[in-house]
Amino acid sequence: MRDTTLCKITDSCPNLQYLKLESSKLSDISLEKVARLCTNLRCLKLDYNKHITDTSIVLIAENCSYIEYLGLCRSNITDASLKQIAKSYSKLYSLSLIDCQKITDEGICVIASACPNMQKYILEGCEEITDISVKKIAQSNPNLKYLNFSWCLVSDESICAIARSCPKLEQLYLEGCNITDVSMSALANLRNLRKLDIEECEKISVNAIISLQNKIPTLNIIGWYSDLNDESDMDNLSE
């Protein structure tokens, strides 16, 4: 979809509540019109629009105060957008920022503090996101059900914080994170956890995974592989 088509939609649908435009050739120009005319939006997904910047997102946040679900994957936004979103969207439930390389812990911490009802964060591939953000999320958002920190700078310290503070968590994605058996032990306390992705987490042992699986039999653990040369691990697997 191009800018001209979006402008026609906004002109004819001023009460629009759901707008999803993925992989589009949009610019800040057309989104500024969305900000002015579509003030009733509740769900806005603008994923994979690399031309989107703070210019339009800050304006949307200032004018569209009802948004609960927001997706801005692979956009060029910075913490400036996140700070305005936090100021405007107290009812925000879901935030998806896959591969947004310009956001940092500062912006995510502001969101976590200002939006206590958050249930879903997708921060996969955000290279500047660290334990600082995760611990703040754990402290501020106890109703979380879905977290994706794959390929973020996350360690056992923050995963233990999540395990202590977020009992409703159902899905957790940690692909490529620097976690160990310590995290596996902590996650055993999350009895509502149904899916765990630990692919490329090379410091986790088979024994720790088996123990976690035994404690939460319904848990689907994605991406772990046994070392066929480790006799102790193989003995455990055969029991």
225 — pLDDT class (breaks 50, 70, 90): low
Tell me, yes or no, whether 108 lies in a domain.
no
For residue 35, pLDDT over 60 is answered with: yes
Tell me, yes or no, whether 114 lies in a domain.
no
Same domain, 210 and 238: yes
Residues 94-142 have pLDDT tens digits of: 999 999 999 999 999 999 999 999 999 999 999 999 999 999 999 999 9
The last residue of a domain, from among 103, 135, 168? 103
Question: For 222, how many CA atoms within 13 A lie in the half-sphere containing its CB?
Answer: 13
Same domain, 58 and 157: no
pTM score: 0.89
Same domain, 138 and 220: yes
Same domain, 136 and 166: yes
Tell me, yes or no, whether 113 lies in a domain.
no
221 — pLDDT class (breaks 50, 70, 90): very high
- R_g over Cα of the chain: 20
Same domain, 95 and 22: yes
What is the rounded average pLDDT of the residues 215-221? Answer: 96
| Structure-block tokens of residue 43 | 């769900």
Q: Determine the Cα–Cα distance for residues 212 and 187; give it in Å rounded to an integer.
A: 8
- Least Cα distance to 226 among 218, 235, 217 occurs for 235
Range of the domain at 6: 1-103
Partner residues linked to 70 by β-bridges? 44, 95
For residue 212, pLDDT over 90 is answered with: yes
For residue 188, pLDDT over 70 is answered with: yes
CATH number of domain containing 88 = 3.80.10.10
Distances (CA, A) of 142 to 67, 137, 153, 169, 192: 20, 8, 22, 9, 13
Number of domain units in the chain: 2
Predicted local distance difference test score (pLDDT) of residue 104: 98
| Nearby residues of 216 by Cβ (< 8 Å), 6 or more positions away | 188, 190, 191, 193
Tell me, yes or no, whether 116 lies in a domain.
no
Kindly report the number of other CB atoms within 10 A of residue 25's CB atom: 12
195 — pLDDT class (breaks 50, 70, 90): very high
